[in-house]
């Protein structure tokens, strides 16, 4: 790892002020992605500003039909939270298959979506559930937030404070886990809103990062069942291909994971 | 450079380290606690697992500064004098180690697993929960046996306290 200067912020305002005083700072949440990237010398921030001890970024709230998870909440606390389990159990499940127990004690929802790894789990949940990302400056819909590989709508010095999820009628998530990294070789989140809209998002599949899958959405809108996806054809163009799987393999995985997710959603 | 103040195995320490120092290097290079290992250095193998404020974390994926003010327990801190921790004793009795490289991380993760699951612990759960720890001797069978054995022993030893 290259040299860096570590700061611990005690409030969002302090973190923003520290960011403004640094030349090339990075915010550090749980560090489960940023630190590995720094160790590989793929990132070399002049300063890291630790958001991990900021109390206002911790916690989960269920208010009517909206579940709000503050950005600094660790995966383990999301997975165990009674309101999450009650309102959107698919999120509790997604968190339980994310990383491993040690990673779940450190990683946070805000860190995951700010990084927007093309194979991360939470971007799929946000996109499928039509969530809203709250920052210290504004609210951004999930549709506008994810801008492609490792890219988001966040501006320099902007900090995610929370994510709000409308509670859906039904939701499910399934993924094919990479056996070593636990990242999604492909994962699919399916959701049916209380107004009957169907949204489906796939992660780990596209070269452009998390994406909606309109063909599966249309099939499920007509008939919410795994069988409805049988006849859907997914194009392999623009899908990821690497030593772990070809684009055609991932195209098929999108269908299979979507079917399993619908089964899980009930 | 910064001074990181933390409690390690019950003792308060203050260590001057470069800001880029990882917690595992503070433990190994500055405190000579070399029981905590670096296996993969990519957050996957779990040889570096220690407890921070009672939770099993990968010390190669934390800056030392993030542990400032925390209480850290390493493999060196779990025995009571000459008496092995029940998890260590169970690993020995069940031949839960071969080359031993992964063992400190396995034991620290396993204690955390027992703390979280208690009586609910079964073989499937142990195998699922140990997925962040890799044994390159592939000795998982006896490791799982040891964890299940230790779960019973830890219950007995807690009841005796």
Of B67, B84, B85, whose CA–CA distance to B12 is shortest? B67
Interatomic CA distance for residues A70 and B80, integer angstroms:
40
Interval B74-127: pLDDT, tens: 999 999 999 999 999 999 999 999 999 999 999 999 999 999 998 789 999 999
Which residues from chain A sit within 8 angstroms of residue B55, using beta carbons?
Answer: 76, 105
Which residues from chain B sit within 8 angstroms of residue A102, using beta carbons?
Answer: 46, 49, 56-58, 109, 132
Mutate which of A100, A111, A177 to disrupt the B interface (most B C-beta within 10 Å)?
A: A100
Exposure of B125 by Cβ count < 10 A (0-12 exposed, 13-18 middle, 19+ buried)? middle
Which residues from chain A sit within 8 angstroms of residue B57, using beta carbons?
Answer: 102, 105-106
The answer to whether B131 contacts A32, with C-beta atoms less than 8 Å apart, is no
Across the interface, of B2, B41, B132, the residue whose CB is closest to A39 is: B41
Across the interface, of B41, B55, B65, the residue whose CB is closest to A105 is: B55
pLDDT of residue B118: 86
ipTM value for the complex: 0.95
Interatomic CA distance for residues A34 and A51, integer angstroms:
13
Q: What is the mean pLDDT of residues B48-66?
A: 98
| Both tokens assigned to B77 | 């801190």
A46 touches chain B (CB under 8 A): no
Helix (H, G, I), strand (E, B) or coil at A235: coil
Distance from the A179 Cα atom to the nearest Cα atom in chain B, whole angstroms: 9
pLDDT exceeds cutoff 70 at B160: no
A2 touches chain B (CB under 8 A): yes
Closest-CA residue of A relative to B3 is: A6
Across the interface, of A32, A101, A181, the residue whose CB is closest to B109 is: A101
Across the interface, of A4, A35, A101, the residue whose CB is closest to B56 is: A101
The answer to whether B57 contacts A6, with C-beta atoms less than 8 Å apart, is no
Helix (H, G, I), strand (E, B) or coil at A108: strand
Per-residue CA distances from A196 to A89, A179, A217, B50, B146 (Å): 19, 36, 11, 47, 50
A99 touches chain B (CB under 8 A): yes
Closest-CA residue of A relative to B47 is: A102
Tens-binned pLDDT, residue by residue, of chain A (266 aa): 999 999 999 999 999 999 999 999 999 999 999 999 999 999 999 999 999 999 999 999 999 999 999 999 999 999 999 999 999 999 999 999 999 999 999 999 999 999 999 999 999 999 999 999 999 999 999 999 999 999 999 999 999 999 999 999 999 999 999 877 788 999 999 999 999 999 999 999 999 999 999 999 999 999 999 999 999 999 999 999 999 999 999 999 999 999 999 999 99
More confident residue, B161 or B73: B73
Q: Chain A to chain B, count of Cβ pairs less than 8 Å apart?
A: 79
Interval B62-75: pLDDT, tens: 999 999 999 999 99
User: The pTM is what?
Assistant: 0.95
Q: Name the β-bridge partners of A132.
A: A141, A164
Of A125, A23, A102, whose CA–CA distance to B58 is shortest? A102
Distance from the B62 Cα atom to the nearest Cα atom in chain A, whole angstroms: 7
Distance from the A219 Cα atom to the nearest Cα atom in chain B, whole angstroms: 34
Exposure of A266 by Cβ count < 10 A (0-12 exposed, 13-18 middle, 19+ buried)? exposed
Exposure of A85 by Cβ count < 10 A (0-12 exposed, 13-18 middle, 19+ buried)? middle
A42 touches chain B (CB under 8 A): no
Which residues from chain A sit within 8 angstroms of residue B129, using beta carbons?
Answer: 101
A249 touches chain B (CB under 8 A): no
Which residues from chain A sit within 8 angstroms of residue B112, using beta carbons?
Answer: 101
**Using 50, 70 and 90 to split pLDDT, how confident is the model at B41?**
confident
The answer to whether A106 contacts B42, with C-beta atoms less than 8 Å apart, is no
């Amino acid at each position: 790892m290259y040299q860096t200067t570590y700061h611990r912020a005690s409030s969002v305002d302090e973190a923003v002020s520290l960011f403004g005083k640094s030349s090339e700072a990075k915010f550090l949440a749980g560090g489960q992605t940023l630190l590995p990237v720094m160790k590989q010398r793929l990132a070399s921030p002049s300063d890291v500003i630790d958001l991990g001890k900021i109390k206002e970024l911790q916690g989960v709230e269920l208010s009517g039909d909206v579940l709000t998870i503050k950005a600094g909440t660790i995966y383990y606390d999301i997975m165990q939270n009674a309101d999450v389990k009650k309102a959107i159990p698919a999120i509790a499940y997604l968190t339980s298959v994310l990383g491993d127990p040690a990673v779940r004690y450190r990683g946070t929802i805000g860190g995951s979506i700010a990084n927007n790894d093309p194979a991360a789990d939470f971007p799929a949940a946000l996109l499928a559930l039509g969530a809203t990302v709250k920052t210290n400056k504004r609210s951004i819909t999930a549709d506008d937030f994810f801008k492609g590989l490792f890219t988001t709508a966040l501006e320099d010095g902007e900090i995610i404070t929370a994510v709000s999820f409308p509670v859906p009628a039904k939701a499910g998530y399934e993924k094919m886990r990479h056996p070593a990294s636990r990242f999604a070789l492909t994962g699919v989140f399916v959701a049916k809103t209380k107004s009957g809209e169907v949204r489906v998002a796939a992660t780990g599949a596209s070269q452009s990062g998390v994406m909606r899958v309109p063909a599966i959405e249309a099939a499920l809108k007509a008939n919410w069942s795994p069988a409805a996806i049988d006849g859907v054809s997914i194009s392999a163009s623009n899908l990821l291909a690497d030593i772990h799987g070809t684009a055609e393999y991932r195209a098929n995985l999108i269908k299979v994971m979507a079917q399993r997710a619908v089964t899980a959603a009930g | 450079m910064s001074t990181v103040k933390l409690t390690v195995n019950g003792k308060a320490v203050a260590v001057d380290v470069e800001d880029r120092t990882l917690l595992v290097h503070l433990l190994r290079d500055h405190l000579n606690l070399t029981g905590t290992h670096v296996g993969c250095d990519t957050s996957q193998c779990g040889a570096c697992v220690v407890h921070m404020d009672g939770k099993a974390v990968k010390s190669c994926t934390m800056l030392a500064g993030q542990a400032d003010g925390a209480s850290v327990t390493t493999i060196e801190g779990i025995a009571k004098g000459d008496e092995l921790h029940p998890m260590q004793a169970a690993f020995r009795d069940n031949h839960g180690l071969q080359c031993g490289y992964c063992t400190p991380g396995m034991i620290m993760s396993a204690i955390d697993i027992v703390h979280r699951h208690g009586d609910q612990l079964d073989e499937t759960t142990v195998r699922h929960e140990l997925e962040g720890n890799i044994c390159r001797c592939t000795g998982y069978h006896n490791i799982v046996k040891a964890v299940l054995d230790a779960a019973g022993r830890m219950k007995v030893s807690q009841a005796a306290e």
